[in-house]
Amino acid sequence: MGKMDEMNKMWRAEFAYLHWYDEFWFKDFGYSKVECSLAHPLIAVATEGWGTRMLSPVGENRMAVYLVTGAAGFIGSWLTEALVERGDTVRALDNFSTGKRENLAPWRDKIEMLEVDLRDEQAVAKACEGVEIIFHEGAIPSVPLSVKDPRTSHTANIDGTFNLLEGARHAKVKRVVYAASSSAYGNKNPLPQRESMLPGPLSPYAVQKLVGELYLHSYWKMYGLETVALRYFNIFGPRQAPDSPYSGVMAKFASMMLAGEQPTIHGDGEQSRDFTYIENVVQANLKAAAAPADKVAGRMFNCACGEPKTLNETYRQLAKLTGYKNPPQYGPPREGDIKHSYADISAAREALGYEPNVDFLEGLRRTVAWYREQHVAGSRSTAVARA
Q: Catalytic positions, please? A: 205
* Residue 297 CB, nearest approach to ligand UD1 (Å): 23
Pairing status of strand 226-232 against strand 329-331 = unpaired
The residue within the footprint of ligand UD1, chosen from 39, 92, 207, 249 (CB under 6 A), is 249
What would the 3-class secondary structure string for 249-318 be?
HHHHHHHHHHCCCCCEEECCCCCEECCEEHHHHHHHHHHHHHCCHHHHCCEEEEECCCCCEEHHHHHHHH
- Give me the least distance between CB of 246 and ligand UD1, in Å please: 7
Residue 237 sits in the site that holds ligand UD1 (CB under 6 A): no
**What phi and psi values does residue 290 have, to the nearest 5 degrees?**
-100, -15
Segment interacting with ligand UD1 (CB under 6 A) among 20-28, 94-102, 282-290, 331-339: 331-339
φ and ψ at 228, to 5 degrees? -135, 125
Which part of the chain contacts ligand UD1 (CB under 6 A), choosing from 34-42, 157-165, 262-270, 363-371? Answer: 262-270
Q: In Å, how far are 72, 85, 106, 113, 260 from 24, measured between CA atoms? A: 25, 26, 28, 16, 53
State yes or no: residue 264 binds ligand UD1 (CB under 6 A): yes
Work out which of 13, 337, 365, 374 binds ligand UD1, going by CB under 6 A.
Answer: 337
CA atoms of 68 and 113, how far apart (whole Å)? 10
Q: Phi and psi dihedrals of 264, rounded to 5?
A: -115, 130
343 is a site residue for ligand UD1 (CB under 6 A): no
Size of the site for ligand UD1 (CB under 6 A): 23
Binding span for ligand UD1 by CB under 6 A among 29-37, 120-128, 248-256, 369-377 = 248-256
21 vs 318: CA distance, rounded Å = 49
How many CB atoms within 10 Å of residue 245?
Answer: 9
The nearer residue to ligand UD1, 130 or 192, going by C-beta atoms, is: 192
| x-marked contacts with ligand UD1 along 193-232 as a string, rule CB under 6 A | ---------------------------------------x
CA distance 57 to 276: 35
DSSP state of 340: B
By beta-carbon proximity to ligand UD1, the closer residue of 38 and 256 is 256
- Position 142 contacts ligand UD1 (CB under 6 A): yes
Residue in 266, 316, 349, 366 binding ligand UD1, rule: CB under 6 A:
266
Region near ligand UD1 per CB under 6 A, out of 73-81, 147-155, 178-186, 295-303: 178-186
Taking CB under 6 A as the rule, does residue 271 contact ligand UD1?
Answer: yes
Task: Please state the φ and ψ torsions of residue 149, each to the nearest 5 degrees.
Answer: -140, 75
Q: In the beta sheet, which residues pair with residue 229?
A: 178, 300
- Judged by the rule CB under 6 A, the positions of this chain that interact with ligand UD1 are 141-143, 181-183, 232-234, 248-249, 252, 263-266, 271, 273, 311, 334, 337-338, 341
